[in-house]
Copies of this chain bind each other. A is one copy, B any other.
């Protein structure tokens, strides 16, 4: 493994185009390399990991450059974990105006979140109510048993998320895991849900290839 490299080698190693890396450097997303000559900087493994982190946030999380900068700054500033989670959540989640929600949808979500101790402006609570409202508008509605299963599954995953964070050694690496785990975890869950649906569908209704 190469541990000291020129910018062209950093590009080869990560698959990120040279122009992209220069853009990351200009925007402060990537720390400057070490000057080895007046016009030559070298980069290390930390730069490689940071580039993959930026790409995870932009490609999977769909974050803008401004939001990515905000999240990266939060990681670098070694915030307490509760703040790191808050920043990750508020950046990665869509902001929902409480005024746009009907009280029925909020009541439905609150009945599922009973005992969780959520704040009224908890971004997850508002986003969940928005989904429930939209599901109703399509004419079908999300029944209480379906919602309760999602809540149960979310609790299971959230505990695993926090265990993963706790397993990291230092604060910066914990904060980074919060952010990466939140963004990549959503994509992971969606993927595994598809596989589980496919598996359950075949079990319940038979294999379409043989049907």
Contacts and interface: CB of A to CB of B under 8 A. Distances in A.
Interface stretch (A3-11, A65-73, A75-83): A75-83
A189 interface: yes
Given A60-B131, A82-B208, A201-B81, A118 B157 contact: no
Centre residue among A184, A191, A208 by max chain B CB count within 10 A: A191
Interface string A183-206: 011111111111111111110111
A138 B53 contact: yes
A201 B198 CA distance: 33
Contacts of A142: 164, 181, 184, 188
A195 B52 contact: no
A208 B157 contact: no
A117 interface: yes
A95 interface: no
Nearest to A195: B124
Copies in the complex: 2
Interface string A101-120: 00000000000110011110
A88 to B, nearest CB: 9
Given A139-B49, A173-B140, A150 B196 contact: no
Given A140-B168, A201-B82, A194 B123 contact: yes
Interface of A: 45, 48-49, 52-53, 55-56, 59-60, 80-83, 85-86, 89, 93, 112-113, 116-119, 122-128, 130-132, 134-135, 137-140, 142-143, 145-147, 149-164, 167-168, 173, 176-177, 180-182, 184-202, 204-208, 211
Closest 7 CB pairs of A and B: A124-B195, A124-B194, A149-B160, A158-B196, A49-B139, A127-B191, A154-B192
